[in-house]
Structure 1
């Protein structure tokens, strides 16, 4: 066995884990959209983590022992910082998704690799290569085509246009906060993916509960009891697959291949969302498909360019 076999195997496992999470989350957006007949976005987020945190805690205690449920002050501070970013991302995403189309949300979320590159530029003063910057510009053009349907959205009634625009802005905020979460995870170096997922879920659930009570006080909570049974399978998917399995896979990927490479695999998310919506009967305008192709094509091209640039001759 060569000396590089283990690192190569770890990288392959990391890619597979991050890709698996991306595929789960790509289907999650259309599935979540159907749950809004029963609950609002904040309640949906509360259900997801209300189910997920006990599942995470039970798994962690079983796999690593009850002591793994505790951490020192530095560990809890790192988990709290990452958890705050994640909670903000989730709330913005699921509130925003209630106002926009899931395929548009997926396209906006696909900009996370570009956002990560720009964040690294601002944080570490590492300017992305010119090709990466060109791909970012092309990706943003593609997003604009999808969001506006090639300009057709500007002719919709002002109320509809305003609601969808606000939803898209919330999804954009969700994407930026998710990038912040990914960049904060190195503060929990040495933790397993399961422990990271569990301990970051504590501040996440606390903030979601707080947001739910604030929303409830202002009449922003909606629960349609008659529609809950039909939405049960959606809640199960969003909680168990979307959070428990998805976060375990994503954190495992982050640990093995890093934030930038993991974000590059988010390219698959809009493809999954578009295909799922097509099976639901949605028919796309050619300009929407062209915009989606621009986004995915630009990000994939950038991914291949970065990987080629990182190759070291034997």
Structure 2
């Protein structure tokens, strides 16, 4: 029977991830968005250095294909996800962004069908349709039809969610072969290099107050390091379907954090649209995305793709 500590660990990880859009929204409204992003990932990448001796990178035989896939995952997961999400969240509320980011499991499932040739089943098709309806409801209700900036912001956040889905599908084989900690550290370092090149001008001009620096420091350590460690600990003791259900709390935490910490309005349209998105997620997953997907062909030794948790 799974321990209570494991469930608590997963719940805390989901709360940390759900608060990530709130922290991002607060920071980008007070400082240069790319500057804040660059400082955060510089901090995150440095935090992986103490575990370098245990990674034993020199003992791994990296072939050209593996290095290319690692580089692609690092750029997609760090730059491809975080840059559009950070720029987009300037123009949408944190709660709205959290709901849009909660579509990540749908992108993972859809890309698994397209890239990994898994079968598109009725639960996934219905889930995609219902979740898309929820996104449209949110968009119209939040004025996206008359506000170009909000439309662009929502599109950028959705692009970030799609990029994280692409990262999650691509990184699965690497994690299974080389381990989660080693792949996480290497992709973080690879992706941070081009990110710093993009963000360097903003980093040099970033000016934050005491509260801003505290939020940035906690944001850098919380979701990326503490959240991931708690999630992995919980998954080692809690069955995947049960842990996956807790991911649906992600947008609930984002909306609650936006309302209570940032004073964002809570409209009926936000509640209805968010509920529709959650229903779509539950329909598509059938308690888990992987259960709504049936492989066309799978060799006896081939594992299913890892269902990666949300990124911050």
Q: Assess same fold via TM > 0.5.
A: yes
How many residues in Structure 1 have an aligned counterpart in Structure 2?
A: 286
In 1, Cα distance between equivalents of 2:116 and 2:239:
15
Residues 85 and 248 (structure 1), Cα distance of their counterparts in 2 relative to 1, 3 Å cut: farther
Unaligned residue ranges in structure 2 (runs of 5+)? 293-312
Cα-to-partner distance string for 1:238-259 (whole Å, 9 max, x where unaligned): 2101222234456778999999
2:88–2:154 CA contact under 8 A, matched in 1: yes
1:72: which partner in 2? 61
TM-score, with length taken from structure 1: 0.78
Q: CA deviation at 1:263?
A: 7.2
In 2, Cα distance between equivalents of 1:243 and 1:165:
28
Unaligned residue ranges in structure 1 (runs of 5+)? 1-7, 156-160
Aligned partner of 2:265 among 283, 290, 314: 283
Cα-to-partner distance string for 1:84-133 (whole Å, 9 max, x where unaligned): 11121111111111222211211111111221221111123323221221
1:298: which partner in 2? 280
Q: CA deviation at 1:171?
A: 1.0
Equivalences for residues 111-130 of structure 1 within 5 A? 111-130=103-122
In 1, Cα distance between equivalents of 2:285 and 2:278:
10
2:299: which partner in 1? none
Q: CA deviation at 1:235?
A: 0.5
Q: CA deviation at 1:177?
A: 0.9
Residues 83 and 247 (structure 1), Cα distance of their counterparts in 2 relative to 1, 3 Å cut: farther
2:295: which partner in 1? none
1:230: which partner in 2? 211
In 2, Cα distance between equivalents of 1:228 and 1:258:
43
1:212: which partner in 2? 199
Residues 308 and 202 (structure 1), Cα distance of their counterparts in 2 relative to 1, 3 Å cut: closer
In 2, Cα distance between equivalents of 1:89 and 1:309:
26
- 1:89 aligns to what SS in structure 2? helix
Aligned partner of 2:50 among 58, 81, 92: 58
In 2, Cα distance between equivalents of 1:258 and 1:181:
23
Bigger fraction of residues in helix: 1
In 2, Cα distance between equivalents of 1:307 and 1:206:
33
**1:44 aligned onto 2:31:** no
In 2, Cα distance between equivalents of 1:256 and 1:77:
33
1:89–1:178 CA contact under 8 A, matched in 2: yes
1:84: which partner in 2? 75
1:19–1:265 CA contact under 8 A, matched in 2: yes
Cα-to-partner distance string for 1:190-212 (whole Å, 9 max, x where unaligned): 33332222111111110101212
In 1, Cα distance between equivalents of 2:244 and 2:32:
28
Residues 251 and 166 (structure 1), Cα distance of their counterparts in 2 relative to 1, 3 Å cut: farther
2:16–2:227 CA contact under 8 A, matched in 1: yes
1:269: which partner in 2? 250
Stretch moving more, 192-201 or 68-77:
68-77
- CA RMSD of superposed structures (Å): 3.4
2:88–2:156 CA contact under 8 A, matched in 1: yes
Aligned partner of 1:187 among 173, 176, 185: 173
TM-score, with length taken from structure 2: 0.78
Stretch moving more, 110-119 or 32-41:
32-41
2:307: which partner in 1? none
